Amino acid sequence: MTRQGPARRNGWSATVHRAPRRRDGAGHLVVPEFVSEQCCESLLTAVERCRSRCPLPLVVRDDPGRPLRYVVIDGAVAARELPELAPLAEQVRSVAAATFDRPLVPFPDPRIAVNVNITPPGGEYRWHYDRNPVTGIVYLNAVAGGAIELCPSYRLPTLPGAAGETAAGLTLRRALDSVAAAGPLRRTLGRPLSVDPSPGTLVLMRGDRCLHRVQPVAGDHDRICAVFAYDDPSPAARRRPALDRYLYSGERCQASDPNYRH
């Protein structure tokens, strides 16, 4: 790995590393020390400043088998309150495009493109796939527990024009996904790996094919990371109002899984 940078924009600086170029096959990449500890510290300070200015909902979804408990700074708030994240989003995008050897753009809905996840002690994030093809996560601190578990490239690619985004396609996908996510199959075929959160570590994955979850956070500290969602330059429409309400609001939601509803 070669050292790049430091990149300087508006007084903010990060020392970043160039990830090795790698073909699509592996489906994920972990880059320790992608961002310097000093840069993580200044981002954490900015996150605290944002929290003190903006009331952020605690998102709690207690559906059986699908626990989700976290606070999220969505991209609309981040664009206003955390401009420090914009250059990092671009650095991660360019490493992700080289890693997976495909052109990538920020997810077209700015609310989804850049998030900060704050998972309190006891919080966790259920098994799921992301709706976007590539996701990058930069961890800003270390906590007890809170490992991310990944089953890279576990989900079969969507057949062009088949399962797609139709209601019938989503129903079929939900059935296949729930069989695949069940413990025995996941543990044998999923080739699971686990990454402890650590300041500056970057995890890249093919988000819509990598089954992943966050284990419950232990100890007394919030687990904080920046999550960047990337898309193909000409994506199919990915509007998902039910999933948006589920992930980004404190409102009550229907019991059925919003990953499989429009």
Ligand X SMILES: O=C(O)CCC(=O)C(=O)O
Instruction: List residues binding Fe ion (CB under 5 A).
Output: 130
Q: Which residues contact 83 (CB under 8 A, 6 or more apart)?
A: 10
16 vs 148 by CB, closer to ligand X: 148
When CB distances are held under 5 to 8 angstroms depending on the partner's kind, the choice from Fe ion, ligand X, none that residue 214 binds is ligand X
- Answer for which of 12, 107, 125, 127 binds ligand X (CB under 6 A) is 125
Site string for ligand X, 98-117 (x = CB under 6 A): -------------------x
What distance in Å separates the CA atoms of residue 234 and residue 33, rounded to the nearest whole number?
Answer: 32
- Answer for which of 73, 112, 118, 148 binds ligand X (CB under 6 A) is 148
Site string for ligand X, 194-223 (x = CB under 6 A): ------------------x-x---------
Element at 203 (helix H, strand E): strand 202-205
Helix (H, G, I), strand (E, B) or coil at 107: coil
- Answer for which of 130, 222, 231, 257 binds ligand X (CB under 6 A) is 130
* Residue 240 in tokens: 């998902």
What distance in Å separates the CA atoms of residue 92 and residue 207, rounded to the nearest whole number?
Answer: 14
Closest listed residue to residue 218, CA positions, set 235, 196, 239, 199: 196
When CB distances are held under 5 to 8 angstroms depending on the partner's kind, the choice from Fe ion, ligand X, none that residue 227 binds is ligand X
Q: Which residues contact 232 (CB under 8 A, 6 or more apart)?
A: 102, 103, 104, 105, 133
Smallest separation, CB 135 to Fe ion (Å): 6
Evaluated on CA atoms 258, 195, 69, 55, the torsion sign reads negative
Note the maximum CA span of the chain.
50
Smallest separation, CB 130 to ligand X (Å): 5
Smallest separation, CB 240 to Fe ion (Å): 14
16 vs 72 by CB, closer to ligand X: 72
Helix (H, G, I), strand (E, B) or coil at 13: strand
The residue ranges that bind ligand X (CB under 6 A) are: 117, 125, 130, 137, 148, 212, 214, 225, 227
